[in-house]
């Protein structure tokens, strides 16, 4: 930040020239906002209306709604608008999906069973060599 920050509100940008594509887009967006504000004055809330709509509860409409919203892949629903360093990744490493987890569990189970079946034999100690603690006598001597 600069040593003395400037918190003043900048001037509004100049309007686009009339009869241009930008002017048409701006007019369409302004009309949508006006309609939204009219509904709000009439106490019609957009989210409440969506929630109470029975047609939107139909799971068969999900692909059409996603296409309308511009979502091409189901994974895009979970993507973050934050940079990759800050956001949660929408695509995980292949080992973290079900197939990779099952393969990893199978590998670990095989390794555990292999170690379990392996028996290490230890040579027997001769009498008097560490088999009995010093100073104590065993009845098996």
Q: What is the pTM of this model?
A: 0.34
DSSP run (H or E) holding 115: helix 98-117
Q: Which residue has the higher pLDDT, 74 or 48?
A: 48
pLDDT computed for residue 28 by the predictor: 93
> What does the pLDDT look like over 83-141, one tens digit per residue?
767 776 667 777 778 888 899 999 999 999 888 877 777 777 776 555 545 555 666 65
Determine the Cα–Cα distance for residues 74 and 139; give it in Å rounded to an integer: 76
Residue 135 gets the label, from left (phi > 0), alpha (psi -120 to 50) or beta, of: left
4 pLDDT more than 80: yes
Any idea where the domains of the chain sit in the sequence? 21-89
List Cβ neighbours of 46 (8 Å cut-off, separation of 6 or more).
36, 39
Q: Find the DSSP H helices in the chain.
A: 21-41, 46-52, 62-69, 98-117
pLDDT computed for residue 137 by the predictor: 62
Q: Can you tell me which residue has the tokens 């999906």?
A: 97
Q: Are 15 and 5 in contact (CB under 8 A)?
A: no
- Across 18-22, 52-56, 110-114, 135-139, least confident range: 135-139
Query: What number is the average pLDDT over the span 26-30?
Result: 92
Across all residues in the chain, what is the average pLDDT? 80
pLDDT band at 1 (very low <50, low <70, confident <90, very high): low
Query: What number is the average pLDDT over the span 55-82?
Result: 79
5 pLDDT more than 80: yes
């Amino acid at each position: 930040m600069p040593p003395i920050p400037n918190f003043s509100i900048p001037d509004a940008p100049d309007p686009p020239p009339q009869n241009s594509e930008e002017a048409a887009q701006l007019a369409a967006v302004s009309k949508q906002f006006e309609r939204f504000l009219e509904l709000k004055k009439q106490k019609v809330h957009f989210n409440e209306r969506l929630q109470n709509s029975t047609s939107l509860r139909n799971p068969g409409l999900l692909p059409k709604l996603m296409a309308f919203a511009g979502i091409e892949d189901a994974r895009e629903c979970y993507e973050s608008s934050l940079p990759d360093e800050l956001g949660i990744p929408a695509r995980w490493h292949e080992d973290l999906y079900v197939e990779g987890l099952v393969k990893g569990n199978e590998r670990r189970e095989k390794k555990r069973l292999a170690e379990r079946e392996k028996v290490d034999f230890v040579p027997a100690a001769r009498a008097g060599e560490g088999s009995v603690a010093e100073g104590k006598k065993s009845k098996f001597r």
